[in-house]
Amino acid sequence: MNCIHIVGNRPQFIKLALLHQAISLHTPFQQKILHTGQHYDKTMSDVFFNELKIPAPDYQLKINRLPHHTQIGRMTEKIGNILATEKNSGVIIYGDTNTSLAGALAAKKNHLPIAHVEAGIRTGDERMPEESNRYLTDRLSDINFCPTTLCKKNLEEEGVPDSKIAVTGDIMLDAWKHAWERIYNGAVLEKVPPHHYVVATIHREENNESPARLQSIVEALNEIRKTIPVIMPCHPKTKKKIKELGIKIHFQLQGPCSYLQMVRLLDHAAYVITDSGGFCREAFFSGKPSLVIMDRPFWPEIIEQQQCLQTAATRQAILDNFQLLQKVPIKYDETIFGQGDAAKRMATILAQEWSQ
Ligand code: UD1
């Protein structure tokens, strides 16, 4: 039996690094990596493969810069053709991107077993491209690895049978702990940031594709920066939009960070402002209060803990909620996302399920 990991986006590379290693240690499977090319910039892809010591992809499709439907269609076709030659394989899918859905469709049509890492997340916002990717990928998968018990409950409510669900904890917690070990053990980082600032990231379509929302977010960050420095490691797409719209920035805008740099940047930060589901979880692991700019955030688990507040994308709402964020008492239940051993649990389950 072989395993084929299908990845294409920055957060998927981070999860792949951990699960690839755990499968090497805890299963007899041979592994291959298929990279769709959805993220292709050096800073969005190569940096992660190098820093996290991920083997080079066996297949590289270079499919990017396309509308969602075309991207999913083209990826499904190309992945399907490859999987047709990989008959004795299980397929591992990560998260909720176009790469995830295309990989799941292509695997299903080739009658290959599918495991989905980060299953069961729901926002209820059908306009988000990721929401249909999540729902459909979960439905197509034979094993749904849920990061939390709420994710399991979401799947149960949709009628997914128990036999297809495993709560493993969040593999991002494994990744974050692993990164910390490397930093403590002296991993060399190019730039060590100063202390006490807001670290902000914006990349989600609902914020990027709306000039009014993007303008409001930047204006709010410009205002916040008058009282505390703001650093934004910027997705290339967001940078392009800001430039196109001629929006004036008065805070520190820089290129994307590597994973270790990001963990370090977070450690020295006082607060996080983001629309990333991964980064607000990492803020939680680091004990940093975060403000999430999304109409319907996908981690109610963290919002319940009050370590994360949700805000609308208007200038005033962001400023008001940022004030509030500085006052809320923090409750912190460390167990929500498991013990940081999700990758090992997943590998153990795969060894049982796929060896039969
Ligand atoms: C994608 C995922 C999102 C995930 C995010 C992680 C979908 C629908 N969205 O969003 O769920 O949270 O990845 O970062 O799959 N671009 C570059 N360089 C790159 C990559 C992208 O310039 O290396 C630009 C391109 O113009 C591209 C645009 O960003 O067309 C959008 O990229 P895409 O990969 O489609 O979506 P993300 O916004 O990154």
Measured from the Cα of 40, ligand 1's closest atom is 23
Encode pLDDT of 136-168 as tens digits.
999 999 999 999 999 999 999 999 999 999 999
Is there an atom of ligand 1 within 6 Å of 11 CB? yes
Measured from the Cα of 97, ligand 1's closest atom is 15
Residue type, 79: I
Encode pLDDT of 25-63 as tens digits.
999 999 999 999 999 999 999 999 999 999 999 999 999
Encode pLDDT of 281-309 as tens digits.
999 999 999 999 999 888 999 988 888 99
Quick one: CA torsion of 151, 346, 15, 126, rounded to 10 degrees?
Answer: -30
Encode pLDDT of 202-222 as tens digits.
999 999 999 999 999 999 999
pLDDT at 187 over 90: no
**Gap from CA of 39 to ligand 1 centroid (Å):** 6
The pLDDT assigned to 298 comes to: 80
What is the pLDDT averaged over residues 185-190? 69
- Distance (Å) of CA 27 to CA 118, 146, 167, 290, 349: 20, 20, 19, 38, 10
User: How far is Cα 322 from Cα 325, in angstroms, rounded to an integer?
Assistant: 5
Better-predicted residue by pLDDT, 291 or 331: 291
The pLDDT assigned to 190 comes to: 63
User: How far is Cα 356 from Cα 351, in angstroms, rounded to an integer?
Assistant: 9
The token pair at 277 is 């589901």
pLDDT at 312 over 90: yes
Is there an atom of ligand 1 within 6 Å of 46 CB? no
pLDDT at 76 over 90: yes
The pLDDT assigned to 162 comes to: 98
Encode pLDDT of 90-147 as tens digits.
999 999 999 999 999 999 999 999 999 999 999 999 999 999 999 999 999 999 999 9
DSSP state letters, 86-97 = -TTEEEEEETTS
Residue type, 4: I
**Gap from CA of 87 to ligand 1 centroid (Å):** 30
59: Cβ–Cβ under 8 A, 6 or more apart, which residues?
A: 32, 33, 34, 35, 82
pLDDT band for position 183 (50/70/90)?
confident
**Gap from CA of 347 to ligand 1 centroid (Å):** 28
**Gap from CA of 327 to ligand 1 centroid (Å):** 34
**Gap from CA of 64 to ligand 1 centroid (Å):** 8
What is the pLDDT averaged over residues 321-343? 89
Contact 107, 91 (CB under 8 A): yes
The pLDDT assigned to 308 comes to: 92
Residue type, 147: P
Contact 292, 280 (CB under 8 A): yes
Residues 168-203, buried b or exposed e (16+ Cβ, 10 A)? bbbbbbbbbebbbebbeeeeebeeebeeebbbbbbb
- Distance (Å) of CA 255 to CA 124, 142, 214, 237: 32, 38, 18, 11
Atom 24 of ligand 1 has which residue's CA nearest to it?
Answer: 237
Is there an atom of ligand 1 within 6 Å of 98 CB? yes
Q: Taking all residues of the chain, what is their mean pLDDT, rounded to a whole number?
A: 95
What is the pLDDT averaged over residues 339-356? 95
Atom 21 of ligand 1 has which residue's CA nearest to it?
Answer: 39
H-state helical runs in the chain? 10-26, 46-51, 68-83, 98-109, 129-140, 149-157, 171-184, 205-208, 211-224, 236-245, 259-268, 277-285, 300-304, 315-325, 342-354
Residue with tokens 């094993």: 143
Which residues on neighbouring strands pair with residue 322, listed in sequence order? none
The pLDDT assigned to 24 comes to: 98
